[in-house]
Structure 1
Amino acid sequence: MKWQQGRSAVDGMLSRKELERVPASREQVAGDAPKVTAIIELAERVLDEMSPF
């Protein structure tokens, strides 16, 4: 999926507080890896359900 095709879905998740923007930090990313992985998997499922992109 191209970014522009999924952007509206991600923007929607941000506006509904399902995702949040955070500053980049190597230490934080390393500590939050399991949470980030779960969020990515959820976003992939949502986007898959929105197909036919």
Structure 2
Amino acid sequence: MDKDLKQWIGARVEDDTRLGTVVNVITPTWWWVRWDDDEVDRDVHPDDVKVL
């Protein structure tokens, strides 16, 4: 995964807790994010993160 994207998503999640908490990096192209609102695990593609 692009280093800048990893830094961006890390800062984004840290700055905006509404995105939930990044639990683990499953593969270089997929992230697992825990959503506090509905308490379920969802896989989110990095390309989709910026529009959340």
**How high is the TM-score relative to the length of structure 2?**
0.35
Bigger relative CO (Cα 8 Å, ≥ 6 apart): 1
Q: Which has more radius of gyration?
A: 1
**Structure 1 length-normalised TM:** 0.35
Between structures 1 and 2, the one with greater helix share:
1
